[in-house]
A and B are shown apart, each in its own frame.
Chain A
Amino acid sequence: MHLTWLSNSLRQFYKQWLHRRIPPNQQQSLYRKNIFILPSKAGVFFLVVVLLLWLLGTNYQNNIILILSFLLLSLVNTCILYTYSNLSGLSLQIKKAYPCFAGEYMHIECVIKNNSQRPYNNIVLRWQYGMETVVNVSPYSSQEVTLLLAAPKRGVYKANRLIVSSIYPLGLIRAWAHLDMDVDMLVYPKPIAAHFPDARLHIVEDDQPQENQESIVTTGEFDNISHVRHYQEGDPPKHIAWKNYAKGQGLTTKIFNAVAHAESQQWLDWDDFSGFSIEGRLSRLCHCILQASEQELVYGLRLPTKTIGLGTGKMHKQALLRELALYKGEGN
């Protein structure tokens, strides 16, 4: 009991100390204050070998063996300098962290930059609880790396520390830095398959023949379309007014009249999943949002705390998912 308390408080202390020593920042440079360096496991083993050699040399009063043991010991010393300088001087910057679903790996884009004439070799990048990536950075260049970080639970929270390490060149010494890159992780709930709350609403535009849809504009069924606006990234391709584009008016998107399209509207309601826990509801709502988005419905979300109106498109989907991620649950 006391032990766990002790270890916990020690860990806490270490965390705080690390926080003060290496404060969070989206851009970090590696230098003597944040680089730690110690012999690796192999290095310890190597030192034992050196000790054995020294014993052998001493026992047989054999100078050559003694010199060899001293040379190898000295090699470890040289290796410290090399390994340290293989980290020192690098700088890292977070470019983008892509939101993901709980239980998946979050993709975080990171730029690693070398501002010097010498190459940096075999730099191992890894988030705590993430996957390792090894990069070589040539002189005066930067390299973009996508790092994977496990996102076990829903919510918005800070990423763990990024561990930049290297055992280059001999594997005997390990230098590392625990960097707090100040990354906000946006993790959507894990989708759990669920039927739409009302079967009546399973009307899908895909049922309409392609020609019909094209004729929307030509046949003058304008009541379906409320207006046309400039194309925005994420608008479904089917909603692009290709005719207008052909006329040379640029990419525009048809915005359908919501009222007129009553049969393709979908409200996703918190109360529709009343039998489940909060996380369960969120997961199912998440699934429904993904479905609705895939079927290009016009949909909205009703949460006890917030209601988001009808809409379509990638932005809309992300906004909704974000609400789910942010929803105050048991955990948050």
Chain B
Amino acid sequence: MDTNFFITRNLIVGLLLVYVSVVFLHVSHLPVWTFALFTFTVLWRVNILREKWPSPRRVLRTLLVVLSFTLLFIDYQNLAAVEPMVSLLLLAFTLKLLEIRYYRDFLVLIFLSYFVIASSFLFDQSVLHTFFGVVSTVITTVVLIQVNSIGISINSRIRLALKMLLQSLLLAAVMMLVLPRLNPLWTVPLQSGEALVGVSDSMSPGDFDQLIRSNELALRITFEDQIIERSQMYWRGLVFDQFDGRRWQRSEPVGITATHHQGSHRFQADLRESFQRDSSGNVIHYEVLMEPTGQHWLYGLSPLLIESQTPHPLVYTQNQEVLQKQKIHQRVKYLAASRLGITRHSNNQPVKQLSIREREQYIALPVGSNPRTYDQAIIWRQQASSDQDYINNVLQFFRENFTYTLSPPKLSRHTSDEFLFSTQQGFCEHFSSSFVVLMRSVGIPSRIVVGYQGGQWSSDKTYLNVYQRDAHAWAEVWLESQGWVRVDPTAAVAEVRIERGVTAALPESERELVGRTSSVYQWLGQLQNQWQLIDYRWQQWVLDYDSQKQKTLLTDYLGNITPLKLAFLILLPLLVTASIVGFTLYRSHRIHNADEKKVYTTLQRKLSRLGIDSIKGESINAYCERAAKYLAQKPVSTESTNESMNKKILLINTIKNEFERLLYQPDSSVNTLSTIKKLLKRL
């Protein structure tokens, strides 16, 4: 092929199209500067094509390679992860565009683009992305055909590519369903610098604004047998124990905990043991499908025990968080177990006391901040009979004086002082934050918990969608007799928030702040609901198809799986594909022949009606001539019949000529056939 290969304009255009479609698939996670390089290269390539610019010299090419590699290295630091690898591939693709000379250059680029398409699914496996991936695959295949064929129109190339891909689908699907699945042979960590929407590892006033406006999915929960009430749905994520007067965060950064935490096994074992011993039936099991967060922690009810394998090892912390050692960059699915509403105390287990260090940690407040809150807390505590009483009083105070709103006045230095005694408007982050400050001021160990609260049932009511707008912050206080107890001050102010969600809790005017709630866009919301259902099914049926499901499916339909059956299952689609391809290739031929025959029999029928039967072995030509002669010699009675006879003779002669044309000009056979059909009708 090499010797007959010429680089044409169309080929380059096709390749650029492939390139653009492939880059498009990776837009979401590529470093910004790469786009500058991509645009530059495409521009240059187009200008080479228009013969305005020369091909870049070797020096420039080398310079570009060195430059881009350096930038890539600076950007990622570690080139061994998948993300920089994919960027590397795309860069190679880009730079190769500038020096395409031979047939094999095209092939390399096309094969590379198949690989790049595939690698984009590492980052996104949604229905939409898969659709774009399919489009790219088709484009790439069209160009592969283009590279390997000369003198064929673009339309027939596209048709051929689609036909071939569709015909290949059956075998591919069967292979997917049937071929044994292997476990990962080795793993390369994904790395992502992408900022994802979600609860972050610290909380200061205003942080939740963005979240509550976001309609993106965070979690999908499928309960196994027991469905819990909405007010119980506190999807716990991370615990903050340190306050600087404005911002809440962890005293030990979560990344360090995730990698260096001690005693994780003990916490896990304790939890497992207590669940096993639990006979009250309060342990519930559910499945969580978690969107990538780019963070370490997993969400679940408290206390959380993960019962299935996760891509990376897990760490159970003292605060009853569950962290994954690697950040979560892909959708992760896990089976979880939790125990509802029962404290350790009622389980007849002695409550473990806080150590002095822990106690200090949980009552620490920055010196000099929020003085008014501090003073007021002391007064209230003195009025109360117990810690529990004090807590109830504070909640009562919230309930009576505060409003729940998503657009509260801005807070400056002493956030709690201003919030509690002057603005008195806010949402979860304000309530929980000032509540914990009130607790700590009087020496009650307490902390902030962030996560999600509530959720929305899918349209078929089979699973629960938890959105970013369900993000929530609440408090946990340490009571001597009960241990850590969840207290949600927001619930005191806006009970509806807990029972029916953010939107319901807000005044009418603010509802539009929360995504999807505007009545104008109600139908859009329904559409989104449908879409999410599709997405969920996609996840369930396609993305989660694993060796376990494969086994179930096969045994369901085949009984025992034997190698013979598997071989048969693969062979069958092979045969089916072969026959489909064979059929489409030869079909037109057969139809054509059949058409010719049909036309001929019509001719016979018409002529025999006129009294001329065909003789066996006679050609169409001779038959028509004989018919014409016979009609010409036939005695006619009147002038009008004579005229019609002449017309018939003329028609027969024309038909004869057309049949001849059919024989000698097969290229236009379709047209000729239709002409003959028309003529025959008039005969």
The residues of A with any CB-CB pair to B shorter than 8 Å are 42, 45-46, 49, 52-53, 55-75, 77-79, 81-82, 85, 116-118, 121-122, 124, 132, 134, 136, 138-141, 167-171
Contacts and interface: CB of A to CB of B under 8 A. Distances in A.
A53 B26 CA distance: 17
B4 A66 contact: no
Contacts of A64: 118, 121, 125, 130, 133, 542-543
Contacts of B544: 63
A169 B164 contact: yes
A71 B118 contact: no
B130 A63 contact: no
B188 to A, nearest CB: 7
B68 interface: no
A77 B188 contact: no
B585 A62 contact: no
Given A42-B107, A71-B172, A170 B144 contact: yes
B169 interface: yes
A198 B114 CA distance: 74
A140 B115 contact: no
A62 B546 CA distance: 10
B411 interface: no
Nearest to A79: B164
B184 interface: yes
Contacts of A136: 150-152
B585 A140 contact: no
Nearest to A133: B4
B269 interface: no
B122 A138 contact: no
A54 to B, nearest CB: 9
B513 interface: no
Given A49-B115, A81-B578, A67 B172 contact: yes
12 contacts: A42-B107, A63-B125, A68-B137, A73-B172, A74-B168, A74-B170, A75-B141, A78-B167, A78-B581, A136-B150, A140-B667, A170-B164
A20 B119 CA distance: 50
B356 interface: no
A141 B668 CA distance: 11
Contacts of B147: 171
Given A53-B114, A58-B185, A63-B545, A167 B581 contact: no
Contacts of A118: 585-586, 588-589
Nearest to A122: B149
B32 interface: no
Closest 3 pairs between A and B when the two form their complex, measured CB to CB: A140-B666, A171-B148, A74-B168
Given A56-B119, A72-B114, 18 more contacts: A61-B184, A64-B130, A64-B133, A64-B542, A65-B119, A66-B176, A68-B114, A68-B117, A73-B175, A77-B574, A78-B167, A81-B577, A85-B582, A122-B151, A124-B4, A136-B151, A170-B145, A171-B1
A139 B667 contact: yes
A169 B543 CA distance: 32
Contacts of B1: 124, 167, 171
Interface in B331-381: none
Contacts of A167: 1, 148
Contacts of A61: 184, 546
A140 B669 contact: yes
Contact of B187 (A59, A85, A116): A59
B675 to A, nearest CB: 17
A138 B592 contact: no
B577 A78 contact: yes
A77 B114 contact: no
Interface of B: 1, 3-4, 104, 107, 111, 114-115, 117-119, 121-122, 125, 130, 133, 137, 141, 144-145, 147-152, 160, 164-165, 167-173, 175-176, 179, 181-188, 542-546, 574, 577-578, 581-582, 585-586, 588-589, 592, 666-667, 669
Given A122-B148, A134-B4, A136-B150, A169 B582 contact: no
B148 A74 contact: no
- Interface centre among A85, A168, A170, by most chain B C-beta atoms within 10 angstroms, is A170
Contacts of B121: 62, 64-65, 68
A139 B586 CA distance: 12
B171 A65 contact: no
A78 to B, nearest CB: 5
Q: What's the dominant secondary structure at chain B's contact region?
A: helix
B13 to A, nearest CB: 19
A25 to B, nearest CB: 25
B667 A138 contact: yes
A312 to B, nearest CB: 42
Nearest to A76: B168
A77 B172 CA distance: 10
A132 B3 contact: yes
Contact of B165 (A49, A58, A71, A122): A71
Given A70-B175, A75-B168, A49 B150 contact: no
A82 B145 CA distance: 12
B328 to A, nearest CB: 14
Contacts of A42: 104, 107
Contact of B111 (A46, A70, A139): A46
Contacts of A68: 114, 117-118, 121, 133, 137
A121 B151 CA distance: 8
B577 A77 contact: yes
A74 B542 contact: no
A15 to B, nearest CB: 26
Contacts of A55: 185
B115 A74 contact: no
B133 to A, nearest CB: 7
Contacts of B578: 81
B547 to A, nearest CB: 10
Contacts of A124: 1, 4
Contacts of B150: 122, 134, 136
B160 A69 contact: no
Contacts of A45: 107, 111
Contacts of B137: 68, 71
A106 to B, nearest CB: 19
Contacts of A170: 141, 144-145, 148, 164
A320 B157 CA distance: 54
A118 B590 CA distance: 11
A172 B359 CA distance: 71
B122 A74 contact: no
A46 to B, nearest CB: 6
A64 B1 CA distance: 33
A105 B325 CA distance: 72
- Interface centre among A45, A117, A118, A140, by most chain B C-beta atoms within 10 angstroms, is A117
Contacts of B582: 81, 85
A70 B137 CA distance: 13
Given A49-B115, A121-B151, A75 B164 contact: yes
B168 A77 contact: yes
Given A134-B150, A171-B107, A171-B148, A74 B169 contact: yes
- Interface centre among A124, A167, A168, A169, by most chain B C-beta atoms within 10 angstroms, is A169
B566 to A, nearest CB: 15
Contact of A53 (B118, B125, B577): B118
A70 B176 contact: yes
B337 to A, nearest CB: 23
Contacts of A85: 581-582, 585
A46 B106 CA distance: 13
Contact of B122 (A60, A67, A73): A60
- Interface centre among B184, B585, B669, by most chain A C-beta atoms within 10 angstroms, is B585
A170 B160 CA distance: 10
Contacts of B546: 61
A34 to B, nearest CB: 19
A62 B173 CA distance: 15
A297 B152 CA distance: 53
Contacts of B168: 71, 74-75, 77-78
Contacts of A81: 577-578, 581-582, 585
Contact of B169 (A56, A60, A71): A71
